Structure 1
Amino acid sequence: MKPSIKIHFLGAAGVVTGSKFLIETSERNILIDCGMFQGLKNLRQLNWRSLPFKAEAIDVVLLTHGHLDHVGYLPRLLKQGFKGKIIGTAPTLAIAEIILKDSAKIHEEEAERANKEKYTRHDPALPFYTLQEAEKTINHFKMEPPDTWISLSEDILFRFRYNGHIIGATFIELDIKGKRFVFSGDIGRPNDYLLRDPNRPRWADVLFLESTYGNKIHPQEDVDVLLAQLIKETIYNKGNLIIPSFAVERLQSLMFLIWKLYEKNKIPNIPVYVDSPMGYNVLKVFERYRDWHKLSKASYSNMCAHVTIIESYKETWETIDNRHSKIVIAGSGMVTGGRVLTYLQHLIDDPKTTVLLVGYMAEGTRGRQLKDGAHDIKFFGKYYPVRARIAYIESLSAHADQKELLDWMSEIRNIPEKVYLVHGEPDALNTLRVKVKDIYNWNATIQHLNDVEHLYL
């Protein structure tokens, strides 16, 4: 009888977030990524459910990269009984540690605020996980280098391959009895400001392909011109430019762009505040792992010297009270939480304020609501009128667009037996499915949450 495996689609199937793909074999049960669902309430509620597979039966977790929607469920996995190793590249584990600790702190603060201000139906409101649980999770981390085959059992090997997107990010090649499974993770873009171009797989018997921008081509925007114009208008209006930003990669790219604009005399010397303790910690990861990015030591130092890092809430309030024009970059990127909400609480009703949204805004997030023209947004249990100007630059996305996704597949020399499209909203998934068929004549399929596929090896 031929050996077989089961593939469990536990997240990022039919949706963008919550990445979790379980490969069940006779030798090892391997979980690829272990992320949180984000966006719509019905998705976020899924985070509170236990996995439909015994966590103690999972032997190992392999991480493509450190974003919350790829690592944020790990403490819950341990709570359900997982006892194995969590393996990633050195910068991925460094990023994951920062994100898990920061996320735990936010969960604890939000639960405390909800209980104090009584804007929750839960009594008491509980954090999704605590800092103590995050630290316990980090004790399971194990670093492995890229481009090296690592044995998990007699017939199972894996390796990490450089993938751009964020520092440390990889796609994963998993060999099971000689059959190659390729998990794309999140694919970065060519000609990134900070990162090298992604590597490309050469062989894939089974391909798991992200589809975040499967229905879109990033616009050919002149980001320098757009950003410089917004900054000059902010100064002219005596207002503030608020940029919600992910702490990983997006924040560093924005710092780099603003510094380069100033260096080229394209903008005046407007104060730039970075209000993201997590972003500050990520900068240290860039300093520690120089071979994972393109910044020279001098460029890194000059870029950091051009901004003021805010390290306390006291400094946050001082920055809000400061009446001078300024740029504030603060988390979170899709306005789902973080310190950017404190700035918006006081500035989003001011017509002199500009809120610049950058990159992908998932369905159901406040960032998507603002992008779609919401007249008010709700946070901290209240509605706030939106009188600020909302601007959007899509081309700074760290995700490959449709053309770049198709190019990433172009060096695969065989015809995959299976192509699973994941990490996408329905229209993006279906559009990319048609494109894959048209260009490569490969039959791609779209899975749904908790689907189980049975494959013979």
Structure 2
Amino acid sequence: MSEGSRAAALSAARRASARYRTSPWPGGLHVTGHRAAAGPDPVLSFLGGAGCARYLLETPDAKLLVGCGLFAGPDALWRRNFSPCPDELHAVDAVILPSAGLGHAGFLPQLVAEGWHGPVFATPGTAALLPVALGDAAKQFEEDADRWCPPGPAVPPFRAEDVSRAVDLVRPVEFGTLRQLDGAELEFGRSGGRLGAAWVRIRAGGRSVVFAGPLGAAGHPLLRRPDPRPRSDVLVLAAPQEPGDRHLPGRFAAAVHRAVRRGGSVVVPAAAVGTELLLTMVRDLMDAQEIPRLPVLLDSPAGLAGIDVHRLAMAERWPELRRDGRVAVPDRPAGQVTDRPSIIVAGLETADSGRVLRHLAAALPDPRNGVVLLGHPAPGTRAAQLADGARHLKIRGRYVSVRAEVTALGGTGEFAGPAEVQAWATATPAPETAFVVEGEPAPSYALAKALHAEAGWCAVVPEEAERVLC
């Protein structure tokens, strides 16, 4: 994403903010119904996987897709992003996006590129961040296709013009507002973790389903805690990550100090949406004199655009933001790793594509440098290989020795851990069925088991492509 693209993304964010209070659909939405064949009860299909949200809800009057995410992980899974859209997605009447993350929205431009042009519903925050996240993904895909960087084929799944068409379809809906669809009712509530992220409640045919993606932690430095879970017949609940480590800032500071003593720099793979938390932590560490005041180089115009969206939200006092939160602003990006110790932040966070590959190729062979991995990388990604102790890494067709120090810090604390997720879910009367989704098998089955054993719930980890009645 160029500086011009960053300005365009921020302009789109401002337009989305303006639509926060003025919706172009005052009388609700009329969609052309595709009647579900299973009768009056809604039918729910699980079309995604770990880290990927795609839930098809077929009501008697319409087909609604909640989440339209990209797959992440090993080559075989990643390559599915480059395949034509499944027929089920082409048949949907509307798309509902829980967040702007690629796992929730990253496949939307490809769906649009193949001819789909229905309405897309999202919160104002998600609408503002969507051109940033999707525009950055399109740029990375195009760069990788030009260089033919496996695991992706040499043709990108979508381009910048597809992102523009997808963003034009978005209809912002405020938190707590009921949106009438044909035979259904939509509501968003705050889920935290990311600006604009929401749980989704859909009522249809006398039944209600709540979709809750990764929940934000109660102690999030920028966002308020999630809204309480509403009552529903069915709950689709994202598996939690490991809880954030309260010692993580200190461990990050220690990794920086070790690199500085060696005369090296630190490279941090990070997503365009979410960089604001990392930069806020770095600023706080510098203010507390726990790390030296190094240059902080954000090699991501999309990341800068995302920070601009957060600053706009704070200036307009969006209700999901904490009043005491402040977003850090980094130095402007630099092109190369320099001899002067620096903290270099670039995407993608999986290290499977993007500008971070150039920085890793330069930094990894030098034992003076360090690489800090945040979060829980999907199995099979380059970030996961580094976390597992890889001695070499294949980057753009060439193997690079890993001599730099690699520090995997795990969760950064913006998302709720297992105890918080379970407490949020069980604070409201039990649904008839809870489905635990989007996680790796171990945490998914652990949460389902805990909900069954401790709360007496019917909790299930569904199979991919499984269909159930609601």
Same fold (TM over 0.5): yes
Q: Secondary structure at the match of 2:110?
A: helix
The within-5 A match list for 1:103-114 is 103-114=137-148
Spell out, residue by residue over 1:172-199, the C-alpha distance to the aligned partner (whole angstroms, 9 max, x if none): 0111133221000221111012211111
Would the alpha carbon gap of residues 169 and 121 (structure 1) be closer, same or farther in structure 2, given more than 3 Å must change?
closer
Of residues 397, 417, 436, the one that matches 1:381 is 397
Aligned to 2:14: none
Deviations 1:172-230 (Å, cap 9, x if unpaired)? 011113322100022111101221111121312100010143xx4x2643233222222
Give me the whole-angstrom Cα distance separating, in 2, the residues matched to 1:349 and 1:99.
30
Letter in 2 for 1:223: L
Amino acid of the structure 2 residue aligned with 1:316: G
Contact 2:45 2:56 in 1 (8 A): yes
Q: Which amino acid aligns with 2:162?
A: E
- Aligned partner of 1:33 in structure 2 is 67
CA deviation map 1:310-333 (0-9, x unaligned): 1xxxx313xx2x211111111111
Does the CA contact (< 8 Å) of 1:211 and 1:422 recur in 2?
yes
Note if 1:231 corresponds to 2:256. Answer: yes
Q: Residues of 2 paired with 1:272 and 1:121: CA distance?
A: 30
Q: Distance in 2 between matches of 1:66 and 1:433?
A: 26
Q: CA deviation at 1:398?
A: 3.3
Corresponding residue for residue 32 of structure 2:
none
Deviation at 1:25, TM superposition (A): 1.4
Deviates more, 1:260-269 or 1:67-76: 260-269
Q: Counterpart of 1:409?
A: 425
Report what 2:385 is aligned to: 369
Code of the aligned partner of 1:308: D
For the 8 Å contact 2:244–2:413, the answer to whether it is kept is: no
Q: Following superposition of structure 1 onto structure 2, how do residues 140-289 of structure 1 map, counting pairs within 5 Å?
A: 140-153=169-182, 155-213=183-241, 216=242, 218=243, 220-249=245-274, 251-289=275-313
Q: How far is the alpha carbon of 1:441 from its aligned partner? A: 0.7
Residue 56 to residue 371, structure 1, CA distance change in 2 (3 Å): closer
> Partners of 2:466 and 2:113 in 1: how far apart?
24
Q: What's the CA shift for 1:259? A: 1.1
User: What's 1:316 paired with?
Assistant: 335
**Counterpart in the other structure of 1:3:** 40
Shift of 1:9: 1.1
CA shift in 2, pair 1:47/1:212, >3 Å:
farther
C-alpha deviation, 1:267, in angstroms: 2.4
Residue 132 (structure 2) pairs with residue 132 (structure 1): no
| CA–CA separation in structure 1 for the residues paired with 2:169 and 2:436 | 30
Deviations 1:353-383 (A, max 9, x none): 1111111111111111111111111120111
Mapped contact 1:358–1:397 kept (Cα < 8 A): no
TM-score, normalised via structure 2 length: 0.87
Provide closer, same or farther for how the CA distance between residues 350 and 444 of structure 1 changes in structure 2, counting only shifts above 3 A. same
- SS of residue paired to 1:453: strand
| d(CA) in 2 for partners of 1:22, 1:107 | 26
Distance 1:146 1:426, change over 3 A: same
The alpha-carbon distance between structure 1 residues 59 and 327, as it changes in their structure 2 partners (threshold 3 A), is same
Q: What's the CA shift string for 1:256-307, capped at 9, x where partnerless?
A: 111112222222222211111111000111012122323658x44xx31xx3
Check whether the contact 1:360–1:397 (CA below 8 A) recurs between aligned residues. no
AA matched with 1:341: L
Q: Which amino acid aligns with 2:43?
A: K
Query: Any unmatched runs of 5+ in structure 2?
Result: 1-37
AA aligned to 2:190 is Y
**Structure-2 separation of matches of 1:199 and 1:382:** 48
Give the secondary-structure state (helix, strand or coil) at the position aligned to 2:42.
strand
Amino acid at match of 1:294: R
> Any idea what SS the aligned residue of 1:8 has?
strand
Query: Partner amino acid for 1:32?
Result: V
Q: CA deviation at 1:18?
A: 2.6
Cα shift at 1:390? 0.9
CA, structure 1 residues 345+364, in 2 after alignment: closer, same or farther (shift >3 Å)?
Answer: same
Provide the rounded CA distance (Å) in 1 between the counterparts of 2:58 and 2:39: 15
Question: CA separation of 1:45/1:220 partners in 2, compared to 1, >3 Å: closer, same or farther?
Answer: closer
Give 2:80's aligned amino acid. Answer: L
CA separation in 2, counterparts of 1:295 and 1:379? 43
Partner of 1:436: 451
Change over 3 Å in CA distance of 1:354–1:136 after alignment to 2: same
In the superposition, relative to structure 1, how do residues 77 and 219 fare at CA in structure 2: closer, same or farther (>3 Å)? closer
1:57 is matched with which residue: 71, 84, 91? 91
Q: Is the 8 A contact 1:55 1:80 kept in 2?
A: no
Task: List aligned pairs for 1:110-125, cutoff 5 A.
Answer: 110-114=144-148, 125=154
Q: Secondary structure at the match of 1:409?
A: helix
Length-normalised TM-score, structure 1: 0.89
Give the ranges of 4+ consecutive aligned residues of structure 1 lying more than 4 Å apart after TM superposition. Answer: 119-122
Q: CA deviation at 1:443?
A: 1.5
